[in-house]
Amino acid sequence: MKLLLLTKKFPYPLKDGESQAIHGLSKSLSELGCEVSLLAMNTTKHYFAGTELPEKMAHYHEVRTVTVDNEISPLDALGNLVRGTSYHISRFDIPEYHAALSQWLKEKTFEVVQLETLYLSPYVPTIRRHSSAQVVMRSHNVEHEIWERCSANVRFAPKRWYLRHLTRQLKDYETAQLNQYDLLLPITNRDGKRFESMGFRGERHVLPIGLDTVCGEPTYESFRETPSLHFIGSLDWLPNLEGLKWFLNDVWPEIHRRFPAIEFHVAGRNMPESLQQLRMKNVVIHGEVECSCTFVSAHSISIVPLLSGGGMRAKILEAMSLGRVVISSSIGLEGISAKHRRDLFIADTPAQFVEVVADCLARGRKLERIGRAAATRFHKKYDRRTLGRKLQERYHRLVNGTAMV
């Protein structure tokens, strides 16, 4: 089977959830015998300047890129406000990408063209015009919900109004596109049901994030020492930055007061200057780390204080795969099959986070049992090879016109 992936960013390095999700699935399908090609936008925000493909991308049959300037422009944003079109989408609707896609579809026959996220939906007409391939959209989130949650947490009224306006435009676009695909791949069953409530009437196949466990087997040495907390995430993604600031301002001071020996380690790409210069007692700022596996493995407890966002959090799955103890908000845990106090912990308020941390510290060496349970849960539910095999079977039915049983 020949499969063409369309992405709104060059999916490397593997330091964010979207890139990890694309990598895990494409590698699995390639190992199963699919010929997987990639047409990636090489954006100013995630620019890849290399002249040769990274070794970890060797599984692709062919990779082509289109340089895209998608920097946020106040003038363009204002224009979209007046025109009533979604600025979230128009930033990725690029004539050069349409041209590159058209050329490739004329050169080669693909059975499936897979869009990685809603932001590639403007290219569906181009695919239909030049190919008979099945069009599949892999939804990493219910996109407008992220912005609904973000705008609800904004206190400055003009900014809140503007974000809500953008959210309405995005929701209208997301709803209008739902029945343009031959198959929809929601990342969670909850998202699938949400799409159906928005009017989706087609075929869907729930496809969780499947990670490549490149870090190897979990190690548990950190549980033999005084536990430390950590946070890791791309800090140019608003929900991550919002949640981290909330934790630092509203939760950490009380944790530090009650447990003055405990440290909180913070790492992430594109960290704003204000965080890089942060000076808080026992908060250690690392910035971007070379190896997330090493960083995560060094600290027993992973903090995921998300107040908004959607889909699935790859960083929770990565922490689970490494046998870490995850303390997450309910929003952070959406779509992940794990049980509170068996595989991880859930906390939504400052008081709950403090009490869960206290519970973890009181367990001593027994805390390791939660980490081991998390690793077991990950391998049972989120191994990329198992998920890739199920999707390959679904694609064969789709291409051959076989109905679901």
* pTM assigned to the model: 0.77
- Are 178 and 35 members of one domain? yes
Dihedral of CA 172/174/180/183: which sign? negative
Q: Which of 181, 172, 170 lies closest to 147 in space, CA to CA?
A: 170
Confidence (pLDDT) at 141 = 87
Q: Rounded distance, CA 379 to CA 320, Å?
A: 9
Of 41-55, 95-109, 170-184, 242-256, least confident by mean pLDDT is 41-55
Mean pLDDT calculated for residue range 128-133: 98
| Per-residue pLDDT tens digits for 20-71 | 899 999 999 999 999 999 999 999 888 998 888 999 999 999 999 999 987 7
| Per-residue pLDDT tens digits for 221-274 | 899 888 999 999 989 888 899 999 999 999 999 999 999 999 999 999 899 999
Confidence (pLDDT) at 179 = 96
Is residue 245 one of the residues assigned to a domain?
yes
- Are 206 and 225 members of one domain? no
Mean pLDDT of the chain: 91
Structurally, the chain folds into a number of domains equal to: 2
Q: Rounded distance, CA 333 to CA 374, Å?
A: 13
Q: 33 CB contacts (<8 Å, ≥6 apart)?
A: 1
- Are 179 and 255 members of one domain? no
Q: How many residues are given for the chain?
A: 405
Is residue 405 one of the residues assigned to a domain?
no
Confidence (pLDDT) at 372 = 96
Sorting pLDDT into bands at 50, 70 and 90, what band is 87? confident
Residue numbers of the domain that contains 290: 221-381
| Per-residue pLDDT tens digits for 196-228 | 999 999 999 999 988 766 577 888 989 988 899
- Are 232 and 170 members of one domain? no
Quick check: 130 pLDDT over 80? yes
- Are 109 and 251 members of one domain? no
- Are 389 and 372 members of one domain? no
Is residue 185 one of the residues assigned to a domain?
yes
Mean pLDDT calculated for residue range 183-194: 93
Q: Rounded distance, CA 292 to CA 299, Å?
A: 11
224 or 195, higher pLDDT? 195
- Are 119 and 131 members of one domain? yes
Confidence (pLDDT) at 106 = 97
Distance of CA 18 to the CA centre of its chain: 4
User: Tokens representing 155?
Assistant: 């206190």
Confidence (pLDDT) at 2 = 98
Give the burial class of 382: count Cβ atoms within 10 A of its Cβ; 0-12 exposed, 13-18 middle, 19 or more buried. Answer: buried
Quick check: 309 pLDDT over 80? no
Confidence (pLDDT) at 36 = 98
Confidence (pLDDT) at 289 = 93
Quick check: 405 pLDDT over 50? no
Quick check: 80 pLDDT over 70? no
Burial 262-280 (b: 16+ CB within 10 A, else e): bbbbbbbbbbeeebeeeee
**Residue 269, domain CATH:** 3.40.50.2000
192 or 159, higher pLDDT? 192
401 or 34, higher pLDDT? 34
Confidence (pLDDT) at 82 = 67
Mean pLDDT calculated for residue range 330-341: 90
- Are 192 and 53 members of one domain? yes
- Are 236 and 161 members of one domain? no
Of 129-138, 173-182, 275-284, 301-310, least confident by mean pLDDT is 301-310
**3-state SS class at 308:** coil
Q: Rounded distance, CA 161 to CA 262, Å?
A: 40
Is residue 216 one of the residues assigned to a domain?
no
Which value, in Å, is the radius of gyration of the alpha carbons in the chain? 21
Mean pLDDT calculated for residue range 175-185: 97
Quick check: 282 pLDDT over 70? yes
- Are 281 and 204 members of one domain? no
403 or 387, higher pLDDT? 387
- Are 17 and 159 members of one domain? yes
